[in-house]
Amino acid sequence: MAVDFELIGAKASSEDVSRALIEKLMEGFSE
């Protein structure tokens, strides 16, 4: 997990990563 997040961070800005994580969390709560 940690390695995956590091790779994502290197390819995308922290804002894009945070947005993606928040969207996943919102989808998980809605289900």
Query: Where are the domains positioned within the chain?
Result: 1-31
pLDDT at 1: 52
The pTM assigned to this predicted structure is 0.45
pLDDT at 11: 67
pLDDT at 15: 80
Q: What is the pLDDT of residues 1-31, one digit of tens each?
A: 566 767 666 666 778 878 888 899 898 887 6
pLDDT at 3: 64
For residues 11 and 27, give the distance between their C-alpha atoms in angstroms, rounded to a whole number: 23
> What are the start-end ranges of the H helices in the chain?
2-11, 14-30
* Locus of tokens 């961070």: 9
pLDDT at 17: 78
For residues 25 and 2, give the distance between their C-alpha atoms in angstroms, rounded to a whole number: 18
N-terminal to C-terminal alpha carbon distance within the chain: 23
pLDDT at 14: 75
